[in-house]
């Protein structure tokens, strides 16, 4: 198929922030490859000739390989990647199990590494630059008392660090690497949490919506001179105590 516009891969693309990003990129005339465990069964994603869905566990290298191959075969390029797939849950530090840590590393770190390596390899071959944007978390910079997320934040803090490292490593190739660090976002992840409590987790006393995070993703994807940036969309929560 002839390349008609830029192609973006969105992981965790079937709901929440990922689904919002898929829709936003389609509206901007991108070709989109969206992946998640159940992407093809999502009722929230539109039907479009510019959208291809791939089922799979992003923590497995074979899934990333399949996604990259489908993007190149279907649309001819990989111009941008949004590493949105991630899991998050809270426990007292001493209650986290080895299985918990394995799950977190598989999705949040392995998924990032496998997909980002393949995207960058293709971008280098294309010699036309590219963009990587990952979703991390404001909690990685400013823990909040009572929100016991120490183990998940090992992974999110790691993404912040590798974002800066890769930005320097590939700057001369025109490949930009950035991240968005949300605070509390109104997604299915928080469907069982009281809204009044969630509002206390932001200095502004408000909850971000999906579109606000998507807007940040689009900005970083298309900002030609922004790289190595961790953009907080959290009502100021990363600043400190309030």
Please determine, for residue 63, whether its predicted confidence score (pLDDT) is greater than 90. yes
Stretch 132-155: mean pLDDT, rounded? 95
The CATH number linked to 81 is 3.40.50.720
Residue 184: what pLDDT?
82
Q: Is 2 part of a structural domain of the chain?
A: no
Q: What's the N-to-C CA distance of the chain in angstroms?
A: 53
Q: Which of 76, 93, 83, 74 is nearest to 17 (CA)?
A: 83
Q: Where are the beta strands (DSSP E) in the chain?
A: 7-11, 31-36, 51-55, 80-83, 130-135, 175-182, 230-233
Residue 2: what pLDDT?
41
Residues 104-118 have pLDDT tens digits of 999 999 999 999 999
Q: Is 1 part of a structural domain of the chain?
A: no
* Token output for 206: 């408000």
Residue 23: which domain range? 7-239
Q: Is 126 part of a structural domain of the chain?
A: yes
Integer Cα distance of 165 and 228 in angstroms: 8
Helix axes 111-126, 150-169, angle to 10 degrees: 10
* Residues whose CB is less than 8 angstroms from the CB of residue 166 and which lie 6 or more positions away in sequence, other chains included: 116, 120, 132, 175, 177
User: 139 or 184, which is more confident?
Assistant: 139
Q: Edge-to-edge strand order for the sheet containing 80-83?
A: 51-55, 31-36, 7-11, 80-83, 130-135, 175-182, 230-233
Residue 3: what pLDDT?
45
Backbone angles phi and psi of 72, in degrees to 5: -70, -40
The number of domains in the chain is: 1
Integer Cα distance of 148 and 169 in angstroms: 34
Average model confidence (pLDDT) across the chain = 93
Residue 1: what pLDDT?
40
List b or e across 103-119, with b for residues whose CB sees 16 or more CB atoms inside 10 angstroms.
Answer: bbbbbbbbbbebbbebb
């Amino acid at each position: 198929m002839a390349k008609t516009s830029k192609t973006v891969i969105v992981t965790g693309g079937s709901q929440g922030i990922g689904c919002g990003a898929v829709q936003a990129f389609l509206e901007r005339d991108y070709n989109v490859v969206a992946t998640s465990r159940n992407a093809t069964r999502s009722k929230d994603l539109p039907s479009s000739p510019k959208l291809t869905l791939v089922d799979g566990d992003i923590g497995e290298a074979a899934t990333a390989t399949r996604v990259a191959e489908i993007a190149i075969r279907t649309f001819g390029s990989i111009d941008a990647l949004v590493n949105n797939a991630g899991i998050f849950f809270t426990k007292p530090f001493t209650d986290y199990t080895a299985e918990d840590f394995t799950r977190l590393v598989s999705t949040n770190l392995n998924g990032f590494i496998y997909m980002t390596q393949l995207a960058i390899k293709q971008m280098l071959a294309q010699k036309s630059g590219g963009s990587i944007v990952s979703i991390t978390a404001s909690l990685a910079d400013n823990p909040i008392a009572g929100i016991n997320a120490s183990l998940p934040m090992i992974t999110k803090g790691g993404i912040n660090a590798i974002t800066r490292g890769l930005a320097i490593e590939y700057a001369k190739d025109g490949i930009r690497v950035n991240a968005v660090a949300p605070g509390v976002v109104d997604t299915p992840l928080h469907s069982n949490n009281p809204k009044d409590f969630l509002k206390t987790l932001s200095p502004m006393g408000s909850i971000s919506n999906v579109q606000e995070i998507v807007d940040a993703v689009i900005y970083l994807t298309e900002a030609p001179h922004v790289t190595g940036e961790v953009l907080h969309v959290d009502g100021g929560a990363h600043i400190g105590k309030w």
